[in-house]
Structure 1
């Protein structure tokens, strides 16, 4: 594609004329090849303009800049200047990949909490309706049964556009993305008009440092999503919903427990039976449904309502909604694993005291026969985390099973001793099983009817790091092996 075709939606001035054929759009100078355009991004700690000369030396045919350069650019290299190179990168990337969002059903989710779970719920509902769906968010880029790790919840715009084109090539018809405030602030979602956008909730987060200077900026950045969507839904039980959605030109579909909501939840209750842990509720207004949601905690009724609103903008049957919400889960976030017996086994990423407190407090509400927590702590990390995790588990669990978790360059038994220091501040019972697979085996073989067992710490991770080496270890695989080895049924 010619340079000026890539720039068709970018406001720019020509510094050095030329309209070369561009093979790729690059923002990392290490990836520059002959015939590419290099876009100079300004980051928190690095400025792409410093790498413009090396990019030219490696064969860049064009440069996109926002600041003046301090070297003489060869005459055969085109240079254009724009006020915002991040915005330019987004618009150019969309053109480079053929505006793939226009070929997909697209939904974007913003909010402080619930983005990942709501994304998973929407994707599962689409799948139940026979619509192959890709997702982009905290867990990475996911489609076709594969997960591709990303550095950010909302990746750089080029990576998003590349992923959308790959999803289409893989047969996807829909895409759901987590729209973070930072992603919106840095124009990573520019160049797309989403079919639907959803607001979940708003609370204090991401303030200070290199993120947002204050709550006002944080809210403003989230509101940017509603300038680029065709339909919109919002949690009207959250007082910030009007400010977040104020720039949306159309009518907002509202959801919540309040009488003012267009999709209302009622008769909610926690569910725990035959290994299923979740929440039941019914809806009225926009839809009349009776739902069992397979993710624990009343707050997930809100996430389910958000998902229902999002898919209501498309021709999705109620059966797909009911079936999708029952089986939807987020990998590594209170993720249920099917096991023989009348107990519940969950995998969760909780790897510090706060996340452990949140998970165990939620599960306590289900009044389990016993709440059993298996966990370890990372090596070469502050010891206070271990003390705090031990104390939290000892206080909230009926039994703690202490094991390994990325011991890195420390001895796992030294880490366990630190965890025990925290446990000893409580009356909590505990056992030590240093090898993680054997700790899981211990939990499963000693499970009683009505127990809830949480394997905490690894979540979506599929490795164990020991002395600088990452060994493959997926807890789901370990559970299957134990079931086969022990002939459990």
Structure 2
């Protein structure tokens, strides 16, 4: 059914969001008093620049009345807002208590509730969301004839084969429903999406229920005045996924697992667990298990409830990625999928640009990874030390940390790498208002081990060049370079604007004389 002013008002009233409808001097609860209340909207947007004839405009965030200057001439049909703007537009306004929640509901209805035509899988956790999402989508694609879509922090895929760089981990609600509609129209049956803590904090997924969801792990992250003021708030936001899914896949060794199980029990949501055989003994009885093959590095045997499903090698190295694969298998099982040979073949081929990308040339091994907090940087450092322990490696880390937010990461990254690093080169990351040099000096101040040398190089490509030169100056010994934080991103945000950047992987390939991989 097409969305009209009347049906929009009824929907918002049903969810206790509608305050009143205002047009000029008329304030009413009765949409039928508004002219053309039953005329379908031709478009919906939250960007005043995109308003055209018949548009419903959703005013969200720090919206200002001056944004509506000249809007009637563009054909605005109605607006939704928390504020009355009748002084600047003749269009009727749906005045609501919460514009973000209202926008999510209205967007879903405008696009014909595409979520009802998809099997939805949500994934949250502090680390591993992207890898688990790619694993899940790849296997679902293999067993459904390529009819699995993806929303991730790296790429969005709406047709099962074309990947386009994304802007947000979880899209803004209106964008999400628009893309879901496109995915459905493209014949997609499944949608796998990362669900960030911010998605619940700012209601990007309000009104959305998942067929299955994974809660991978939790540790402090995104703590800042503009994100989550405390770890409790961060965890609370992530926990909302549990009450909006029909089944839950839970990391068996996840912190606060007892609380998460209580959430699931109160909501009547069944829980299955996943782990690797190298996890703590108390989680060895996990429902879905990845068991390392002692004869073949990076090969794992996967089982469910004690029954072997199959085995494959993973291009994505590390025990943590084996755990992500086990989570993906559990998710597919939770929505009724069969994980057989085609799925394992697809799983074995998954490669994500900027995630555990591995390069070797002479005495240099380099990993480009998105590790950007304490847990992920520590896990990566431990992995490379364990893998190359027999070769007595030097470890050189190239890293930075974002400005203006996630301020806990600055010390966290240093604490994560310092016990393993011989040298740390601090370099630029994204920032809006904070000066990057101040952030890097702060990070340098967290280094307490006198055996670890540090330096600052604002030019990120030059910092990687310095790391490679350092390795070549120690040609008698293996040097492992950890280039972390940016992944595949080919831009750096400077003063809030994207500035072109070659990309960590491209820089290291150029410096080591390694060709670019074939396009996906």
| 207-216 vs 136-145, greater mean Cα deviation | 207-216
Q: How has the CA–CA distance of structure 1 residues 123 and 447 changed in structure 2, closer, same or farther, with 3 Å as cutoff?
A: farther
Task: Work out which of the residue numbers 48, 56, 62 in structure 2 matches 1:29.
Answer: 48
Question: Kindly tell me: are residues 247 and 61 of structure 1, through their superposed partners in 2, closer, same or farther at Cα, counting changes over 3 Å?
Answer: farther
Residue of structure 2 equivalent to 1:333: 355
Kept in 2, the 8 Å contact 1:292–1:326? The answer is yes
Q: Which residue of 2 aligns with 1:180?
A: 196
- CA distance change for structure 1 residues 453 and 39 in 2, over 3 Å: closer, same or farther? same
C-alpha contact (below 8 Å) 2:302/2:326 kept by paired residues: no
1:309 is matched with 330
**CA pair 340-325 structure 1, distance change in 2 beyond 3 A:** farther
Q: How many angstroms apart in 2 are the aligned matches of 1:214 and 1:451? A: 38
Matches within 5 A, 1:210-225: 210-212=226-228, 217-225=233-241
* Structure 1 match to 2:341: 319
When normalised by structure 2's length, the TM-score is 0.70
Q: What is the rounded CA distance, in whole Å, between the counterparts of 2:296 and 2:474 in structure 1?
A: 20
Alignment check: 8 A CA contact 1:280 1:292 kept = yes
Match of 1:462 in 2: 490
Aligned to 1:288, the other structure's residue is in SS state strand
The match for 1:10 is 12
Question: What residue number does 2:128 align with?
Answer: 114
CA contact (8 A) 1:279 1:295 kept: no
- C-alpha deviations, 1:61-108, integer Å up to 9, x for none? 10113344462752xx23223332212211221222232223333211
2:141 to 121, 127, 150: 127
Compared with structure 1, are the counterparts of its residues 105 and 343 closer, same or farther at alpha carbon in structure 2 (3 Å cutoff)?
farther
Q: How far does the alpha carbon of each residue in 1:18-45 deviate from its partner, in whole angstroms, 9 at most, with x for none?
A: 324422212233433332111222x3xx
Alpha carbons of structure 1 residues 109 and 35: separation in structure 2 relative to 1, 3 Å: same
Deviation per CA, 1:142-185: give whole Å up to 9, x if none: 454432331x3222101111222333455544321111222123
Q: Is structure 2 residue 375 aligned with structure 1 residue 375?
A: no
Cα displacement (A) at 1:51: 4.3
Deviations 1:175-207 (A, max 9, x none): 211112221233311343322222223344445
Q: Do the aligned partners of 2:288 and 2:327 also contact (CA within 8 Å) in 1? A: no
TM-score, normalised relative to structure 1: 0.74
Of stretches 118-127 and 140-149 in structure 1, the one that deviates more from structure 2 is 140-149
Unmatched 5+ residue regions in structure 2? 24-33, 432-438, 516-520
Partner Cα distance (2:185, 2:196) in 1: 26
1:225 Cα offset (Å):
2.5
* 1:309 Cα offset (Å): 0.9
Alignment map for 1:422-437 (pairs within 5 Å): 426-427=450-451, 434=462, 436=464
For residue 274 of structure 2, give the secondary structure of its aligned residue in structure 1.
Answer: strand
Question: Residues 417 and 321 of structure 1: is their aligned pair in 2 closer, same or farther, counting only changes over 3 Å?
Answer: same
Out of 72, 75, 90, the residue aligned to residue 104 of structure 2 is 90
1:157 aligns with 2:173: yes
**1:288 equivalent in structure 2:** 308
**Please, which runs of 5 or more residues in structure 1 have no aligned partner?**
409-414
Equivalent in the alignment of 2:151? 136
Alpha-carbon RMSD across the aligned residues, in angstroms, is 4.9
C-alpha spacing 1:444/1:469, structure 2 compared with 1 (3 Å): farther
* Per-residue deviation, 1:310: 0.5
Q: Distance in 2 between matches of 1:169 and 1:146?
A: 17
Post-superposition CA distance 1:286-308 (Å, at most 9, x none)? 64244544444434443222211
* Contact 1:373-1:456 within 8 A present in 2 as well: no
Separation in structure 2 between the aligned mates of residue 416 and residue 223 of structure 1, nearest angstrom:
33
> Is the alpha carbon distance of 1:341 and 1:135 closer, same or farther for their aligned partners in structure 2, counting shifts above 3 Å?
farther
DSSP 3-state at the match of 2:79 = strand
Is contact 2:3–2:110 with CA below 8 Å preserved after alignment? Answer: no
Residues 295 and 328 of structure 1 are in contact (CA less than 8 Å); yes or no, is this contact kept in structure 2?
A: yes
CA distance in 1, matches of 2:207, 2:402: 43
Q: How does 1:375-454 map to 2 (within 5 A)?
A: 375=398, 396-397=420-421, 426-427=450-451, 434=462, 436=464, 452-454=480-482
Contact 1:270 1:298 in 2 (8 A): no
Q: Structure 1 residue 255 and structure 2 residue 274: aligned? A: yes
Partner of 1:349: 370
Alignment CA distance shift 1:265-1:352 (3 Å)? closer
CA positional deviation for 1:116: 2.2
Matched length: 468
Whole-angstrom distance in 2 between the partners of 1:422 and 1:212: 23
Give the Cα separation in 2 of the matches to 1:99 and 1:236: 34
Per mean C-alpha deviation after superposition, the further-off stretch among 87-96 and 354-363 is 354-363
Counterpart residue number, 2:434 = none
Moved more, 306-315 or 455-464: 455-464
User: Does 288-297 or 133-142 show the bigger shift?
Assistant: 288-297
- Structure 1 pair 39/247, CA: closer, same or farther in 2 (3 Å)? farther
Distance 1:131 1:245, change over 3 A: farther
